[in-house]
Amino acid sequence: MKPASLFRLASAFPIAVAALLVCGSPIYGQRPAGQRTGPRMARAAVTSNLAPDQRSAAASPLAQAAGTFLTFDAGPCQTPPSFPGCTDPVAINNAGDVLGYSVDANGLPHGFLRDKSGTFTIFDVPGAVAYSLVFSEGPPGSSLSPSGQATGGYFDASGNQHGFVWDHHGAIATFDAPGAVNGTIPLSINAAGEITGYFFDAGFLGHGFLRDAHGTVTAFDAPGAGTIANACFLGLTYPQGINAGGKIAGYYYDPQCNVHGFLRDRNGTFTVVAVPNSADTFPATINDGGEIAGSVFGVAGGNAFIRDQNGSFTVFNVPGVRDFGPMDINAPGVVAGSYLDANLVSHGFRRTADGTLTIIDFPGAGTGFLARISHAPSSKKPLLLA
């Protein structure tokens, strides 16, 4: 089951899952074994050349990526035994600012911004009793813009989910998408302050939204997603990321519950994004150059893909993957992300633009997940966030 369906179910029981979501455990896009995908929809408007990476799932273990690890905590805390920790970083920008949330000594959650010098700014969204895990799910640059503007989701005292925007001056605005009866979930913010994500209507069906820099929120669905009357029970449209040009990448379910990727231009024009000869294509992130990365099912040569700005696909394989978690792609085309192996242990990975694939595991860590990669230009060393 993919994140969209997981969050759809979670939002049906918002009070019960609030404690789970705030603790920061990664939710992976799990699809039950044997799930039927059905016949695939015609992929109009996509002209592409497939360039599969020839690595196989049986390849020898990958090398560990070189790099220096820096650890930090937002402050002392006291949490229930079931909580994995006190500090959960979820986003990083080119300046090295880190966005996340923490739990204080009284067990109360807060948002924080850590600048590159190590100084923490703590903030609280009015009415928030918990921050939803999707606060940590949205590329590119996650939920933190280059200027330090942040977006995320939170639960109120009644268990309802809402969106918020916070800037480094301390201003906080909360919002809901039109028609959002069962939750608004922001995932990504760009340099202009435009935000995308999805929301759940009265029937718990997911739809996409775009919030502009002035606060106007527009709901949308991909043309192939059907209507509320004939929608797949998993919902309709699930945007994942927005780039500086206002292009939105994500995926949708057609009325037969088949999965398709999409690219939405600023003017509202949609293009289907589908890896040729695949069963399911799940775009997860888009960079400012228009490159899209994500996971794919049922295609020879791999389990992940990159689509360039011209529509050509490169498929590559991350060995040993049971399921993928968060994934991100930066300006030079470096892809970073997380996955679960067969033992349900989480690992990070990095694929450079030349196809070199390495594993990233924190020394001595039993498990964990790699959340983001900075969108620094190629002249700088990208920063990875876990």
Q: The tokens of 181 are what?
A: 């009866």
Across 162-175, average pLDDT: 90
150-166 pLDDT per residue, tens: 898 889 999 999 999 99
Which residues, other chains included, contact 306 with Cβ-Cβ below 8 Å and sequence gap of 6+?
Answer: 291, 292, 293, 313, 314, 316, 329, 333, 335
pLDDT in tens, 19-71: 222 233 333 333 322 222 222 222 222 323 444 443 333 344 677 766 777 88
pTM for this model (two decimals): 0.78
Q: What angle do CA 301, 305, 308 make, to 5 degrees?
A: 125
- What Rg, from alpha-carbon coordinates, does the chain have? 19
Residue of higher predicted confidence among 12 and 182:
182
Write out the two tokens for 97.
């600012």
Confidence band (pLDDT; 50, 70, 90) for 142?
low
Which CATH number do you get for residue 229? 2.120.10.30
Judged by phi (left if over 0) then psi (alpha if -120 to 50, else beta), residue 266 lies in alpha
Domain with 150 in it: 3-385
DSSP 144: B
CA distance 221 to 99: 29
Q: 262 and 276 in contact (C-beta within 8 Å)?
A: no
Residues 323-346: tens digit of each pLDDT: 888 888 988 999 998 888 888 888
Dist. CA 186–CA 175, nearest whole Å: 10
List, in sequence order, every residue forming a beta bridge with 242; answer none if it has no partner.
248
Share of the chain above pLDDT 90, in %: 44
As for how many domains the chain has, the answer is: 1
CB atoms within 10 A of CB 293: 29
